Chains A and B, each alone.
Chain A
Amino acid sequence: MTALRFGWLAWGTMTIAATLAGLDNHISAQTEAVRQPAAAASYVGSTACARCHAPIYDRWKQTRMANVVRDPKEHPDAIIPDLAQPNPLVTFTRDQIAFVYGSKWKQRYFTKVGDDYFPLGAQWDVTHRQWRPYNVAMGTDWWTAFYPPENSKRPTGPTCDGCHSVNYDVKTKTVTEWNVGCEKCHGPGSNHVARPGRDTIVNPSRLDPISSVNVCLQCHSQGRPLANPVEGRYYDWPVGFRVGLNLRDFWQLEEFKPGETTFTHFPDGTAHKNRMQGNDFTQSVMYTHGVTCSSCHDVHGTRHNADLVRPASEVCLTCHGPKAPNGPHTAGIEQHTHHRAGSTGSECVACHMPAIEQTIGDVMVRSHTFRFVTPTMTETSKIPNPCTSCHKDKSNAWASETLRSWPEFSPWRVAP
């Protein structure tokens, strides 16, 4: 009887052990698949995903992610300005435009010569509804040192196409599709189409936070490929990287040195141009604590500005609030903001994401470090602070004095 009971126990233990071992193998295999998305997988294009993921595909189709680059021959309405109105900056005709880029802040125009695209000399400022010249001036971006000054000698392959397409091939100059299709973030999908399962596709939300953020950072950052020059050319995007590989093996973020104002950075390290959300965000406390881009944005498209998962006035409050250990540590939000509830100044983003990063002319987008830039910092380092960016008639000294009177804050931090 005792022997029999022991026998059962032994069998049971072995079964559990075997099951666990199997599970363990399965987990390892899956992790491996996620890190190395089937080396043999090939790109299939976003329409192949629509068959099973129709709702998400339909949503994505309407996003800017899916529509930044457009061929005006297929989408005549893509060109926003009236090209019939003469303007000295506009030295090209509609027929010359092979691609338009952008619609929210600015629109740029590209012409095709051979198998390459080249920027045309004028861009449309959507906010001010006016033409502005378009030519990246020598010395204003690191890559200008490696190209002649004329737009006609600066093909988009090295400077734009890697991010504005899926699977841009630097040798053949071909793409699987233009714009940010499914496989830009999920990796090549042929194995998943053949055998749909979690282990045949990358889901950025299941990656560790660092890798998850890197999926966005591959394009939403200023940096340089480690491999430059690639076949004699200097690229402005991470050549060779695809989701599943380790971005740091392909890309380095543009360096900053505290105290220096450069093309890319304010003296405190905050970006002062667009396309630098990644440079900003990796400096944030949220990043170190594992918050990812997708904690706030749903790139498949939402009804909210910037594809936020909730409106900007609410999204921060998902994790932050009077009772949250994440702060702010005050009884009410108003006690933290010191601005009337519902006013512009009461929004988290007003102070933690000031619009100080240039996208075109005087049109600015929001910073992503989430830190509060003090008015003192404006005095010492010439970086705009959120107080006087909004209260334009007031001085930095006024802002510092006001901050010193806010008892919830340490003056050593907000108004040193």
Chain B
Amino acid sequence: MRQASNFSEVRMSRAVVCLVAILWLLPGHRAQAQLRPVLPARDAVVQAGTGVIMGRVVDASNGQPVRKARVHDGGTQALTQTAPSQPARDRSQTAGYGAGVIRGRILDAATGRGLPRAEVRAGPNAPQFPDNRIVLTDGDGRYEIKGLPAETFVINVSKPNYVRASWGAERVEGPGKRIPLADGQVLDKIDVALARAGVITGKIVDEFGDPVTDVSVTAMHYQYVQGSRRLVQAGRGGATNDIGEYRIYGLTPGQYFVSATLRSFNGINTETTDRSAYAPTFYPGTGDVSSAQRLTIAPGQTAPGINLTLLPIQTSRVRGTAFDADGKPLSNAMINVMQRVGSAMIGNSGAPVLADGKFTLNLTPGNYMLRVFGPAAGDGAATELVVNGGDIDDVQLIATKPSIIRGRIAFTESATSAPPPKPTMFDMGAVREWMLGQPMRSQAKIKDDGTFEISLQPGHAVIRGLMTGPPAAPPGPNGPSPWRLNRVLVNDLDVGDIGIDVPANGMIENVVVEMTNRVSAASGRVTDADGKTVRDCFVIVFAQDPVHWTVQTRHLSVSRPGTDDLFHVRLLPGDYYAVAMSEVETNAWTDPEFLSLARERATKFTIADGETKTIDLPLSASPVF
């Protein structure tokens, strides 16, 4: 906790002096600004940002220059640090800093106006990304990234409600062109135009043609989630107002379905005789996504007039009983209800479980997930339920007590002279798919002797662990690696990728979680049919054995060639395929069907423990389903 206001602020009329200083001082100090405006306000800020500020900030108590002053324009309040008297030297001694400058303007693609407060990053992203490589544009859309070393950069730009873009990209959301920067070089006019993100608007009416308020309208598109293509929500906004109008915005270019859902007002009502409700309705007016119309949204496009009439429907009454793990009625609990639309889960509502364990729900036809949590933490039950229009009277939810996984943490021989860390330094847990695409993690309790215990709900789980503590120095391509999970052994079988089936009310013992800091790595160049180096592509490296083609696999690495024209992947030892493709849908590589097609064009290789290999790849066509 920190107390307020140990800084003072001096504000001057913009007409007289365009700069304002906020001084960050110890309590008791007074501050005053001595700043000479040399340029109109916004330019002055840009100048201040470059470190060539024309003025000094002094501490009024002793007249000494103040190093931690922040200078900003009274109108824009874009804050920048004053040029301190020494840091230039400090910075030059820090890796990742230099004297190079990249500047330019970020513009609205439609109007050509400068866009304020766009985020500009000088990539590629390093693990320890120096802060000075991310800046926000000023009121005219101008930015300047300074203090850059002699490296090759890519300029990536993002702003809410705009489509992210990179300088020199040849297609929407494609990779940017490289910008080689010499030592101390100042590069100007690195301008990027941003297209507004897509918008869908329309009006929702009921069967009488009256506008309906509070309808949740969503844009959905197919995405790879956990190994299969599923409909997921995109964009923002979408609730209808008093005249039934909605506006969904922030859509990246792509194809969308529009769905309208009016949450039943009596979802948790236990005694209603009112069965009127509406089905989730897809544009142009169907309850079935397979007959829904797909809208293609281009960058900057607004699709107006996407109007819908909600489909009236009758609700079904679902009655059931919830029991605890001992078979006694579960009172004092809530049933959580979610509906599956396409493959997304929507509507999260609850209903009480009465003292006798009984519950009543009124649900529209559809597929549901019912969950209940018992009074003891960790126990609970879930069931899928299909409602077809008739009443359902005998749903039983029987809670299970948490199951237990026990074992110990082991270490491979260290790749360095340093001994392995203490087992308690690992943040480890079992990850289970709790709902479609939603993982749930149960934390392992680790003792000093390396033994651990995980208490979790039954189901299919994988064990994952990371080292805690301050982040290690960024590893170079061949540098030391932090300790990480190598294998998970159950009866000498590595289940690290395939996971463990945890039985209800069960216990799995003698699990060995092996950690390693040894690194196997591959790198290489991708060339097209003409032998030219390709950078705009994805390199997918995956295990030859399909047993590892799981969503949670660690025998998979996806990368893109970097500014050195090479791709770099770190791998566990084993037999691999590698393939380079110009376009791949995100997460397609989690789909075994995709991998089995990709393997036909792939290059085979084997990598041993601690080995570093060079693999050059031809550019392949993307598999077509």
Q: State yes or no: do A and B come from one complex.
A: no
Interface residues of B (CB under 8 A from A): none
Interface residues of A (CB under 8 A from B): none
